[in-house]
Amino acid sequence: METKRLLIDDLARKEQALREAAELIRQGEVVAFPTETVYGLGANALDSSACAKIFEIKGRPADNPLIVHVASVPEAKKLVKDWPPEAEICARQFWPGPLTIVLPKADCIPDIISGGLDTVAIRMPSHPLALELIAKAECPIAAPSANISGKPSPTEGEHVWQDFCGKIPLLIDAGKCKVGLESTVLDLSGKTPLILRPGGVTWEQLAAVLGKVELDPAVEGGFLISDSLQPKAPGMKYRHYAPQGEIVLISGHKEQRIAQFISRLNNKKASERMALLCFEETAVALREAAGGVSQPAIAKADLVFLLGSRKNMAEAASRLFKGLRLCDQHKIGIILAEAMEEKGIGRAFMNRLKKAAGYKKDRL
Ligand code: AMP
Ligand code: MG
């Protein structure tokens, strides 16, 4: 199949791309489009065979349900059995935006979307192209992240191109995604709102408007070590967001982090390809540090990817997946990745990093 890549760099192109994409979706095809979180691989959510193509193209396990994207709150209400007050509060406060809510599903939702569950996950994205596409297609759009299952999510059109060129008819390429991490998944089908996946909307923001909000204990880690702790969002149980190389998390206070980086770099074997995913402040400190005779330790790294300043957690979050993908391109075997504090967007950043590391005890 030939994949058309429509770059959105002016208004005329935008209209044409949206018209073509909406038409393909109506015909039961799958197209890739940008959202503010990551790129999505979208199909008509009310068409089972169109949705089946998403699973096939991505290599996504059938028990991992899809998020349904809508362009308005009334549209969301049609997809669920009940619209509780918490859903109304969340929609008013955080939609359009990076928050997905899980509610008991209406009969119109095909089983393939919900992976056998009796709930459905819904989101209204804020990216204008995503909103316009849903409106033009005149149907809700089921769209998981547009990456081959298991790989880091795509935050640029180029990432989608790398994974799906020749496998989908159309990619709408609008450059970089602003948030760069997937949406927060919030389960509102139980007694207490429960975060199934941390993401673009933080726990703190949700608690401020909903009061008590819990975090699925499986999310914080350990479920790959203990079978008894299974996450409620099926997708969270898979090793995910992962580059080919092994990730070593570098945590602790500043001096500890610097010492770990230096020790790992100085003990690097000649045959090993090593990358650093670190903050600018750390890179500066490493450049100043002497490793071996007079060479700074950082010069021993085969790739240094800067996450931005430690003061700007949102920027680091938006750059993480790009960094992980770059490691694959540079055939990196060991990735030394700098940790950040698990609060605000840092919770989602660390969740992705730990999952990419495989949640192995000895790597945490
Ligand atoms: P992705 O579309 O790749 O960003 O992944 C969507 C995430 O939402 C996965 O972790 C899914 O398992 C989760 N999810 C989707 N639908 C539901 C649902 N009905 N209940 C719980 N989790 C869900
Ligand atoms: Mg995904």
Please give the pLDDT value at position 228.
58
Q: Domain 4-221 is of which CATH architecture?
A: Alpha-Beta Complex (3.90)
**Cα(261) to centroid(ligand 1), Å:** 35
What's the pTM? 0.93
Give span(s): CATH 3.90.870.10, the chain: 4-221
- Give the whole-angstrom CA distance, residue 258 versus residue 286: 7
For β-strands 31-33 and 170-173, DSSP reports them as parallel
Protein residue with least CA distance to atom 15, ligand 1: 65
Residue 291 in this model has a pLDDT that exceeds 80 = no
- Give the whole-angstrom CA distance, residue 133 versus residue 171: 13
Closest CA relative to residue 120, chosen from 111, 129, 128? 111
b/e for 75-97, b at 16 or more Cβ within 10 A? bbbebbeebeebbebbbeebbbb
Residue 224 in this model has a pLDDT that exceeds 60 = no
For 313, residues 6+ apart whose C-beta sits below 8 A from its C-beta are 340, 344, 345, 346, 349
229 confidence band (pLDDT: 50, 70, 90): low
Indicate the top mutation candidate among 185, 219, 223 to test ligand 1's pocket, ranked by most ligand atoms within 8 A of CB: 185
Please give the pLDDT value at position 7.
87
Least confident of 5-9, 46-50, 51-55: 5-9
Using the Cα atoms of residue 161, residue 110, residue 133 and residue 186 in order, give the sign of their dihedral.
negative
Give span(s): CATH 3.40.50.11030, the chain: 246-356
| Residue with the two structure tokens 């998403």 | 54
Q: Does domain 246-356 have CATH number 3.40.50.11030?
A: yes
For 162, the token pair is 């790398």
Report pLDDT digits (tens) over 118-144: 999 999 999 999 999 999 999 999 999
Please give the pLDDT value at position 294.
57
What torsion, rounded to 10 degrees, do the Cα atoms 80, 82, 88, 91 define?
-10
For 177, the token pair is 């995604």
Please give the pLDDT value at position 225.
45
Residue 299 in this model has a pLDDT that exceeds 60 = yes
Protein residue with least CA distance to atom 22, ligand 1: 233
Q: What percent of the chain has pLDDT over 70?
A: 91
- Give the whole-angstrom CA distance, residue 118 versus residue 182: 23
**Cα(193) to centroid(ligand 1), Å:** 16
Tell me if residue 195 falls in helix, strand or coil: strand
Ligand 1 pocket, residue 121 CB under 6 Å: yes
Protein residue with least CA distance to atom 23, ligand 1: 233
Are the C-beta atoms of 321 and 155 separated by less than 8 Å?
yes
- Give the whole-angstrom CA distance, residue 92 versus residue 351: 27
CA-to-CA separations, 319 to 249, 271, 278, in angstroms, rounded? 17, 28, 11
Region 108-126 average pLDDT: 96
For 282, residues 6+ apart whose C-beta sits below 8 A from its C-beta are 254, 257, 258, 261, 310, 338
Report pLDDT digits (tens) over 55-101: 999 999 999 999 999 999 999 999 999 999 999 999 999 999 999 99
For residue 284, how far is the Cα from the chain centroid?
Answer: 29
Please give the pLDDT value at position 227.
54
CA-to-CA separations, 298 to 214, 255, 330, 338, in angstroms, rounded? 41, 15, 17, 14
Please give the pLDDT value at position 361.
40
**Cα(289) to centroid(ligand 2), Å:** 39
Q: What percent of the chain has pLDDT over 90?
A: 79
Ligand 1 pocket, residue 182 CB under 6 Å: yes
CA-to-CA separations, 99 to 89, 170, 184, 202, in angstroms, rounded? 12, 26, 5, 9
**Cα(153) to centroid(ligand 2), Å:** 6
- Give the whole-angstrom CA distance, residue 166 versus residue 318: 27
11 confidence band (pLDDT: 50, 70, 90): low
Query: If you average pLDDT over every residue of the chain, what do you get?
Result: 91
Indicate the top mutation candidate among 57, 64, 160 to test ligand 1's pocket, ranked by most ligand atoms within 8 A of CB: 64
Report pLDDT digits (tens) over 145-187: 999 998 889 999 999 999 999 999 999 999 999 999 999 999 9
| Residue with the two structure tokens 């070590």 | 225
Please give the pLDDT value at position 239.
61
For 234, the token pair is 């099926």
- Give the whole-angstrom CA distance, residue 98 versus residue 127: 10
Query: Which ligand is nearest the CA of 240, by number?
Result: 2
Instruction: Give the other-Cβ count within 10 Å of 342's Cβ.
Output: 16
Ligand 1 pocket, residue 101 CB under 6 Å: no
Please give the pLDDT value at position 128.
95
Closest CA relative to residue 51, chosen from 3, 101, 132, 110? 110
For 190, the token pair is 């139980």
For 196, the token pair is 């199934």
Measured in residues, the chain has a length of: 364
Please give the pLDDT value at position 363.
39
CA-to-CA separations, 309 to 277, 315, 329, 340, in angstroms, rounded? 12, 8, 24, 11
Indicate the top mutation candidate among 36, 112, 188, 196 to test ligand 1's pocket, ranked by most ligand atoms within 8 A of CB: 196
Report pLDDT digits (tens) over 317-326: 999 999 999 9
Ligand 1 pocket, residue 112 CB under 6 Å: no
